[in-house]
Amino acid sequence: MYNEDGYELWLRYRRVDNPDRLAHYRHALSEVAIPGAGETNDIIRQELQHALPLLLDKEVAFTEQKPVANALVVGTVDQLKTLGLHISSEQQQKLDRKGYFIRSELAEAGQWVVIGGDGETAVLTATFHFLRLLQTHQDIANLDILSHPHIQHRILGHWDNLDGSIERGYAGQSLWHWAELPAIIDPRYHDYARACASVGLNGVCLNNVNAQAQSLSHEYLIKTAALADLFRPYGLRVYLSPLFSAPMQLGGLPTSDPREATVAQWWQDKVAEIYQLIPDFGGFQVKANSEGQPGPQDYGANHDDGANMLAEALALHGGNLLWRAFVYDVTVDSDRAKCANKEFEPLDGRFHSSVLVQAKNGPIDFQPREPFHPLFGRLEQTPLALELQITPEYLGQSRHLVYLADMWKEILDADTYAKGAGSTVAKIVEGSAFGHKISCILGVANVGSERNWCGHHFSQANWYAFGRLAWDFTLSAEAIADEWVRMTWGNDTAVVEPIKTMLHGSWPACVNYMTPLGLHHLMQEGHHYGPDPGHNSSGREDWNCVYFHKADVTGIGFDRSRRGSNAVSQYHSPLREQFDDVATCPEKYLLWFHHVPWNHPLLSGRTLWEEMQYLYNEGVTFVEIMADTWQSLQPHIDPQRHKHVHQRLAHQLENAREWCDVCLHYFGQFVG
C-alpha cells in the first residue's frame, strides 16, 4: 500500500481486484473503437487509454475502424451510424436532451459495449459513467443504460477574487492564476475540467459574486477566454459575475441606472466584446442590492429593471442571466426570512425570458438545516435556479466531515404543493412544474489550490455529489455515496460499509451539535466558525445570533407563525397550516417557526430543554464514533490519507464538544 495525496479525486483507476469481474472485463474489452475525431474525442481517447490499462492490468488495442471482436465502441450517434448501429426512436428522444446511452450490442464476431450520445461532450460524460461501472465492479454483461440531464445548466460557481483569495474558501488559494494567464496554462486546469465533466457539470462561473469591475476589463476578458478555450472540449461554458456599477468604474459613465440608454448601450457593447472572444459564453450571475453591493435600487429602479437590461444584452448572443434573490433588507420586513419573497413575488412575470431568479436552498443563508426557500413555488412565471453551497461555510468548513447530499436531497424532494401534491423543489428547478424551458442549478465551489483540491479528503464527496444530483436529482444520496466511496477508497466491504455509515450520519450529527430542532445562525460573526449564541454586538440586528434564537426565560425560537412574523403564510397549504401549529410542525423545524417553552413536551417524551441537551450530546457522540471507526480502518487505508482524516476528525471532535458545551451553558442560563 502506497501513500496517496487525494489529487486523483474519484478518478483513481486501480486494478480491479475482483477476479471474476476482472476476467469478464478483459474478455469484453479486448479492443476499443473510437471512430470520431476532434478535441473532445481526443480527451475521450486519452481517458480510456489512461484508465483501461490500469483497471484491467493489461494493454488494450485502440482503433478508429469497425472492431472485429468483443469491443468497446464509443461515439456520437452520427459516428456510430457509420459502423452500422441503429438508434431507436426512444433513445433518440432522450439523446435530444443532451443525454447518452450505454448498451450491449451483438456484433458479427462477439459482443460490443456501445457508448453513444447527443454530441461529443455527452459521450465524454457517458465514458466516465462506463469507467465508473468498472471502478465499482458492476456487471457489464447486459447493459441498457439511458441517461439524460434533468437540469439544463449545471454550474460550479467560484467565489474567487482576482488577487487569488477565495471568499468562503477552505482549501487554499484560487485555482486561477490571473497574473499568468493567458500565456501560461496550468495543467491543473485540465484536471479540474476533467473532474467536472466526469459528473456531468457543464458550466463554470469563474469569479466572486462580490465582484470586481476589473474582471470585465479587456485585459481580464482575454484571460477568461483562454480558460474558456481550454474548458470547451470538456463541455464547460464559462460564466462571469459582473459588478452592477461597472459602467461607472470601467466605462466612466456618471450612472449605472439600468433605465438610462447610455448604460444599456455600455452593457450591450461589453457583452458583444465578450462574445467576440468567447462565442459560447454562458452568461452572467449577478448579486445586486445585497450586503452593500450596488444594484438598480440605488437609482429607484427594481430587480426586474436591472435584470432585464442585462438579459436583453445577453439574449442577443444566446446567453442567460442568473439574478440572485439573496436580499434581506429588514426595512422590507423585520423577519429576514421573508424579505426575498416580499421583493420578488410582486415581480413575477416581469422578467425577460432568459432570466432565472437564483434562490438559495433556504430563506436565511446556507445553514446546517433550513426549510426550503418559500420562493420555490411562488414564482410561477419566472424560472428559478437553485443555489447550493458545496463549500461548507456554516458546517465546520473543511475541518469537519459532513456529507451534504442528504441535506440537498431533503431540499430537492421537499413538496412545495404549488400545484398540488408532487410539486417538489426539484420539479420546479427542472422547469416541469410550471413549463419553463430553461433550468439551472449552481453549487458554490469548495475547490482550491491544496493538493487534495477540497482541504478535506471527505469534502471531495460533496463536489462529486453535487455533480451527480445536478445531472439526475432522482439519484439517492445512498447510491451516490456508494459510488464515491468505492471509487475513492476501494471496493473492500470492510471499508465501504463503515465509511458509508460515517457519511450518512455526519450531516444529522452536525445539525445536532450545532443547531438542533430548527435553531440557526449561532455561528461566530465574520468567519462563521465555532459557536457564539450570545453574540449581540453587530450593527445590524439580523447579524446577531440572539436575533435568530430569541432565547429568554419563557422559551426559545423565532416565532414565524401567524401569531408572530407570519412567515408560514409564504408557503402553500397544507404546509402553512402544518408549520403554523406547534403540534404538527416537524420537530426538525420547530424552533425555526415557533418560540417554544422550555418545558414543552416533544415526541420523545422529553421536554424541549431535555431534548436539546440530548441532541447536542448525540451529535458529539457520533463524531466520537466516526473517529473510532476511522481508526479501525487504518490497516485498509493508505497512511497519508488516513493520517490527514484522523487529524481532521480529532479537530472536529474538539469543536463539536465546544459547540455542545458553549450552547448548553448559554441556553441553560435561561432555563434556571
pLDDT, tens digit, for every residue of 266-322?
Answer: 999 999 999 999 999 999 999 999 999 999 999 999 999 999 999 999 999 999 999
* Coil, helix or strand at residue 147: strand
Q: Is 191 designated active site?
A: no
Q: Which of the residues 393, 406, 410, 483 is marked catalytic?
A: 393
- Tell me: pLDDT of 229 over 80: yes
pTM to 2 decimal places: 0.98
* C-alpha pair distances (Å), 336 with each of 190, 291, 514: 41, 13, 21
Q: Is 543 exposed, middle or buried (0-12, 13-18, 19+ CB in 10 A)?
A: middle
For helices 477-489 and 460-471, the axis angle rounded to 10 degrees is 130
Q: Phi and psi for 324 in degrees, rounded to 5?
A: -70, 135
Asked if residues 274 and 237 have their Cβ atoms less than 8 Å apart, the reply is no
Pairwise CA distance, residues 597 & 266, whole Å? 57
Domains 19-147 and 510-558+595-671 share a fold: no
**C-alpha grid cell, residue 364:** 436565511
Pairwise CA distance, residues 298 & 282, whole Å? 27
* C-alpha pair distances (Å), 366 with each of 330, 411, 522: 18, 12, 13
* C-alpha pair distances (Å), 534 with each of 394, 480, 586: 17, 38, 26
For helices 405-412 and 493-514, the axis angle rounded to 10 degrees is 70
Pairwise CA distance, residues 401 & 473, whole Å? 23
Least confident of 23-32, 96-105, 328-337, 660-669: 96-105
Pairwise CA distance, residues 460 & 465, whole Å? 9
For residues 484-507, give the mean pLDDT: 98
- Tell me: pLDDT of 75 over 90: yes
- What pLDDT score was predicted for residue 109? 73
- Tell me: pLDDT of 213 over 90: yes
Least confident of 42-51, 84-93, 205-214: 84-93
Asked if residues 403 and 481 have their Cβ atoms less than 8 Å apart, the reply is yes
- Tell me: pLDDT of 1 over 80: no
- What pLDDT score was predicted for residue 97? 77
How many Cα atoms are found within 13 Å in the side-chain-facing hemisphere of 94?
17
- What pLDDT score was predicted for residue 85? 85
For residues 569-596, give the mean pLDDT: 98
- What pLDDT score was predicted for residue 460? 98
Q: Which of the residues 105, 167, 186, 365 is marked catalytic?
A: 365
Got the DSSP string for 4-22? Answer: --STTTT--------HHHH
Peptide bond into 242 cis (omega under 30): no
Asked if residues 245 and 212 have their Cβ atoms less than 8 Å apart, the reply is no
Pairwise CA distance, residues 327 & 359, whole Å? 10
Got the DSSP string for 220-266? Answer: HHHHHHHHHHHHGGGTPEEEE---TTHHHHTT--S---TTSHHHHHH
Percent of the chain with pLDDT over 70: 100
Q: Which CATH class is domain 153-473?
A: alpha beta
**C-alpha grid cell, residue 632:** 479501525
Pairwise CA distance, residues 526 & 173, whole Å? 19
Query: In this predicted model, what pLDDT tens digit does every residue of 358-410 receive, in sequence order?
Result: 999 999 999 999 999 999 999 999 999 999 999 999 999 999 999 999 999 99
* C-alpha pair distances (Å), 314 with each of 87, 278, 317: 36, 13, 6
Q: Which of the residues 5, 291, 552, 577 is marked catalytic?
A: 291
Asked if residues 663 and 533 have their Cβ atoms less than 8 Å apart, the reply is yes
- What pLDDT score was predicted for residue 83? 86
For residue 144, give the DSSP letter.
Answer: E
If one counts every other C-beta atom within 10 angstroms of the C-beta of residue 322, the result is 28
- What pLDDT score was predicted for residue 25? 97
Say what the alpha-carbon torsion angle 290, 538, 392, 560 is, to the nearest 10 degrees. -80
Query: In this predicted model, what pLDDT tens digit does every residue of 434-473 receive, in sequence order?
Result: 999 999 999 999 999 999 999 999 999 999 999 999 999 9
Statement: 19-147 belongs to CATH 3.40.50.150: no
How many Cα atoms are found within 13 Å in the side-chain-facing hemisphere of 404?
35
Q: Is 240 exposed, middle or buried (0-12, 13-18, 19+ CB in 10 A)?
A: buried
Q: What amino acid occupies position 372? A: F
Helix, strand, coil shares of the chain as percentages rounded to 5?
Answer: 45, 15, 45
- What pLDDT score was predicted for residue 88? 77
**C-alpha grid cell, residue 17:** 481486484
Query: In this predicted model, what pLDDT tens digit does every residue of 608-638 receive, in sequence order?
Result: 999 999 999 999 999 999 999 999 999 999 9
- What pLDDT score was predicted for residue 19? 96
Least confident of 81-90, 494-503, 549-558, 567-576: 81-90
Query: In this predicted model, what pLDDT tens digit does every residue of 527-538 receive, in sequence order?
Result: 999 999 999 999
The distance from CA 370 to its chain's CA centroid, rounded to whole angstroms, is 16
* Coil, helix or strand at residue 168: coil
- What pLDDT score was predicted for residue 87? 79
Pairwise CA distance, residues 335 & 568, whole Å? 11
605: Cβ contacts below 8 Å, ≥ 6 apart: none
Q: Is 370 designated active site?
A: no
Pairwise CA distance, residues 84 & 112, whole Å? 13
- What pLDDT score was predicted for residue 264? 98
Q: For the chain, what are the domain ranges?
A: 19-147, 153-473, 510-558+595-671
Question: In CATH, what is the architecture of 510-558+595-671?
Answer: Alpha-Beta Complex (3.90)
Say what the alpha-carbon torsion angle 394, 399, 402, 404 is, to the nearest 10 degrees. 60
Q: Phi and psi for 313 in degrees, rounded to 5?
A: -65, -40
495: Cβ contacts below 8 Å, ≥ 6 apart: 485, 489, 633, 636, 637
Q: What amino acid occupies position 155? A: I
Confidence at 544, pLDDT banded by 50, 70, 90: very high
Query: In this predicted model, what pLDDT tens digit does every residue of 102-112 receive, in sequence order?
Result: 999 988 778 99
Pairwise CA distance, residues 224 & 238, whole Å? 8
- What pLDDT score was predicted for residue 502? 98
Query: In this predicted model, what pLDDT tens digit does every residue of 124-163 receive, in sequence order?
Result: 999 999 999 999 999 999 999 999 999 999 999 999 999 9
Mean pLDDT of the chain: 97
Q: Is 291 designated active site?
A: yes
Q: What is the H or E stretch that residue 315 is in?
A: helix 303-315
* C-alpha pair distances (Å), 38 with each of 495, 581, 587: 40, 61, 55
